[in-house]
Amino acid sequence: MYRAGVTAVAENLKESPLQSVHRAAGARLIPFGGWLMPLQYQDILEEHRAVRDRAGLFDVSHMGEILVLGPGAACLLQGLLTNNALLMEEGQVIYSPMCDDDGGVLDDLLVYRLGCEEYMVVVNAANTARDLNRFRSRAGEGVEIRDLSGRLALLALQGPLSEGILSALAGPALPGCYRFARLKLAGVECIVSRTGYTGEDGFELYLEAGAAPLVWNALMEEGEGRGLVPAGLGARDTLRFEASLPLYGRELNEKTTPLEAGLGRFVKLDKGPFSGRDALVKQAREGLSRRLAGLSMVDRGIPRAQCPVLAGGRTAGAVTSGGYAPTLNARLALAYLPPEMAPGDRVAVLIRGKECGALVVPLPFYKRRV
Amino acid sequence: MVPEGLLYSADHEWVRVDGKICRVGVTHPAQEAMGSVVFIELPEAGIKVAAGEFLGVLESVKAASEYYAPVAGRVLAVNGELRESPGLINEDPYGRGWILEMEPDDPADLDGLLTPRGYMDLLAGGEK
């Protein structure tokens, strides 16, 4: 039950540039995607609530950043991603799945159009090496791929008070939703984008790794009086789960298509050829055999990943993420189920061999009031 | 926070011996490691268990953790208050957060448990 915290530098784990800041703040560190990252600084529930009610500051420097440069950059991205990279303006961010030829999701990522022929792609830590290989192997003449992953820090300032805290340091001209700007914080140039993974308003800040402690401390100093707290990957997971944002490795993997995951609005089947298009066109035409659905427990018990879901006494699917949702005070699960199942339908989740009743509910579980 | 006057298992349960009856819960370091407990699965009173046998599950925000019988015996009672307020395990692990009471088959088995000193040594050594 009790596991001693990882206190020594474990073998082969990369360390965030904020490691000493985290240790000083009493963070519990865990290996995640090849990195040693903060799981929590205090209680996960407290951090979760702080982000919903006030603001939280996350270190997500484990994310990979890949620069795609040159006259062929846009075309390369257009051929690899399901979303439309050609429509991007400078200063814009888009979310996109990246699929293999069968339509299976290889990764889900953000694309930043930094300049005319300059894009930054932000990928999941555990997939960075594979993504880099894919980009490099597909890059023809006129495209340069550069890995910035070790050199950049990524901070996420999330929660309703984020805007006020950030504007106190960076001025009032902050980017709008899915836009970014180059702003100076504590004298440090940052790419500030209005994106996040919590279901709240918020910002993600990319900056040179060495300057990360300075910017982190400036944000904490500015925000502490307003209730800003450092938050770890534990709260990041409960927040994204409650907001029904998919996590690679749980809701998304090579055996799942973005259409099944409910990400159809990020799949532009009519934009021209791209990896996985034929398979996805076929799936869209023939219909889905399963689809990501939300469940809310009626009976006692907490559903966890891989618990089977039964409908009419037969296995209908399995839970991909499950747990207690603090803001909603409910026990919820994301699960792949036959597409005909609809909100209100009764199912059972098999938890440690026991059938526990649950209801299919609409997604997302949580949506912030705007 | 490892109080005197209790015995401890290597699985991080504490045992308070009171005559023939033992009250059992999870230790402060264990609840701290788990974080907020949001659900508990309790065994049924009356069941017989072997030492180290699965008794139930504690669900925290992060994950499920099992807890085990510190000694062989029979479960006499469970703390029903935890069904509504599982957070008592965090707030008061050695008091209102107790989980169950059991009667050991052989009181001599209690000698196999750890003293507070022994448990602290276990914590200091970390888990291998």
Kindly report, residue by residue over B29-75, the tens digit of the pLDDT: 999 888 899 999 999 999 999 999 999 999 998 888 899 999 999 99
Do B65 and A234 lie within an 8 Å CB cutoff? no
**Tell me, what amino acid is at A224?**
E
CA distances from A209 to A17, A68, A182 (A): 6, 20, 16
Closest alpha carbon to B12 in B62, B58, B76, B46: B58
Strand A228-231 versus strand A55-59 pairing type: parallel
pLDDT at B1: 86
C-alpha atoms less than 13 angstroms from C-alpha of A118 in its C-beta half-sphere: 5
Taking the Cβ of residue A265 and every Cβ of chain B, the question of whether any pair is shorter than 8 Å is answered with: no
User: Residue B113 corresponds to which tokens in the numbers above?
Assistant: 């448990």
The structure's pTM equals: 0.90
Nearest CA in chain B to A46: B36
Peptide bond into B3 cis (omega under 30): no
pLDDT band at B128 (very low <50, low <70, confident <90, very high): very low
* 8 Å CB contact of A2 and B64: no
CA distance B61 to chain A (A): 6
Contacts of A3 in chain B (CB under 8 A): 33, 127
Instruction: Please report the DSSP string for A133-161 in residue order.
Output: HHHHHH--TT-EEEE-TTTEEEEEEESTT
State the angle between helix axes of A212-224 and A162-170 in degrees (0 to 180), rounded to the nearest 10.
120
| Alpha-carbon separation of residue A70 from A53, A120, A147, A253 (angstroms) | 43, 12, 15, 30
Supply B59's token pair: 């669900």
| First CA to last CA distance, chain A | 41
**β-strands A330-337, B7-8: how paired?**
unpaired
Give the whole-angstrom CA distance, residue A155 versus residue A59: 5
Q: What value does the CA radius of gyration of chain A take, rounded to a whole number of Å?
A: 21
Contact B39/A304, CB-based, under 8 Å? no
Task: Decide if A3 touches B, using CB distance below 8 A.
Answer: yes
Q: Nearest Cβ partner of B64 from A40, A304, A331? A: A304
Size of interface A-B (CB pairs under 8 A): 58
| A323 and chain B in contact, CB less than 8 A | yes
A44:B30 CB<8 A: no
Q: For B30, name the nearest residue in chain A, comparing CA atoms only.
A: A2
pLDDT string in tens for chain A (370-residue length): 444 445 445 568 999 999 999 999 999 999 999 999 999 999 899 999 999 999 999 999 999 999 999 999 999 999 999 999 999 999 999 999 999 999 999 999 999 999 999 999 999 999 999 999 999 999 988 999 999 998 999 999 999 999 999 999 999 999 999 999 999 999 999 999 999 999 999 999 999 999 999 999 999 999 999 999 999 999 999 999 999 999 999 999 999 999 999 999 999 999 999 999 999 999 999 999 999 999 999 998 899 999 999 999 999 999 999 999 999 999 999 999 999 999 999 999 999 889 999 999 999 999 998 7
CB-CB neighbors (< 8 A) of A352 in chain B: 41, 57
What are the chain A neighbours of B33 within 8 Å (beta carbons)?
Answer: 1-3
